Amino acid sequence: MDQDGAADRPLTGVRVADLTTTFMGPYCTLLLAQMGADVVKVEPPSGDVVRYIADDSGTGMGPVFLNANQGKRSIVLDLKDPAGRAALLRLVGTADVFVHNMRPDAVRRLGLTFSDVSATNPRTVYCAVRGFGSTGPYRDKAAYDDVIQAASGLAAVQGGTGEPTYVRTPVADKATGLMAVGAINAALYQRERTGRGQEIEVPMLESMVSFILLDQQGGYVFDPPRGPAGYARTSSPYRKPYRTADGYVSVMVYTDAQWRSFFGVVGWAELTDDPRFRTITERTLHIDELYRLVEEEMLRRTTAEWLSVLDAHGIPVMPVWTVPELFEDEHLRAAGMFQEVEHPSEGRLRLARCPVTFSASAPVDCRPAPRLGEHGAELLAELGYTPEEIRALGDRSQPTPT
């Protein structure tokens, strides 16, 4: 069943059986839903634990859940019960994609391995998003974003020369979710050529190691290493939002032409030929000196003055917004970044749309995130269950009263 108005979106007609919880998998399937897929969120009787994060109303509709699960339909199935597992396999028979974030031992116990699923539907693209790859000794370890930030090197990079620290958003979860979106779409494309699905494994640790090493491997690209790991520009203590005369501003001067323009704006024309700053190689070697000069100079004008003068010279500059200020930003408003929808239990919501646009697809508002089991009876009927069979499944297929 497609969402209203979704007929022209890239993934219209693709059904996703989504057994994921928390952040990583639901972010992946959120994006698939925003691209038009019919995402069926299969939840245990207790629901996805994220329902209850900051759930002040007691409805199981906390703000993170409302963001991460818009556009999806919810069905409650107890997969430890034969009737619940049978209903899931009937759903799998209609699904183009099956995605979960369970550990391998749990998948085996439930009889939901790739072999099990492909025996039911050989066209299904089977995607396991998990903490660690299945061929290494960590394969059965539990994992959340924090431990992956630590194990991937990200926490050490963030801490610089001080104590390791975490990025304040679950970046490992979300980056891995993005990796899974790309892998699923690639597998769907390959299926168009071969007619068969396949198994995809998207591990958090390996994904984030790839993510970090792109710019932080440094001299360790070579074997043996030719220098230290890291990237001097991003590790400089002077790389930060700069204080101005009345606030903060982010300025990123990067190319030779941009630095020449910046030196002219601030009256440092003589630095254009300074051997420390002439090329990107030289600037990287002396980045702390250079960024310290920028930090001192930023104090001399207001934020508005810096925005005006640096924009005029083509130098990347932006104000430092807080989260509430994002909703007032003129560009984001003009770009239609946010949609307003009425939720049947939570009232009026303001949600972010998919940031990707497609020239052949008009932006479409997704349905709001589902209440627990909200679409159970509807989905079971689509799968061919009779009204009597739906009633026999009882609470496993009915929404929890709110």
Q: Which residues are catalytic?
A: 173
What are the residues facing 45 on neighbouring strands? none
Alpha helices in 195-315 (DSSP H): 204-216, 232-235, 256-265, 280-285, 287-298, 303-312
Structure tokens at 367: 């349905």
DSSP helix/strand/coil, 350: strand
DSSP helix/strand/coil, 329: coil
Distance between CA atoms of 359 and 124, rounded to whole angstroms? Answer: 28
C-beta separation of 109 from 29 below 8 A: no
Structure tokens at 131: 């903490």
Which amino acid type is present at position 292? Answer: R
- The radius of gyration of the chain's CA atoms, rounded to the nearest angstrom, is 25
Distance between CA atoms of 29 and 50, rounded to whole angstroms? Answer: 15
DSSP helix/strand/coil, 88: helix
Please measure the distance between the N-terminal and C-terminal CA atoms of the chain and give it in whole angstroms.
Answer: 25
C-beta separation of 6 from 107 below 8 A: no
Structure tokens at 309: 């003068």
∠192-194-198 over CA atoms, to 5°?
Answer: 90
Peptide bond into 370 cis (omega under 30): no
Within the chain, how many helices (H) and strands (E) appear? 18, 11
| Nearest by Cα to 27 from 186, 155, 145 | 145
In this structure, the number of other CB atoms found within 10 A of the CB of residue 300 comes to 11
Structure tokens at 62: 């906390």
Structure tokens at 271: 């630095």
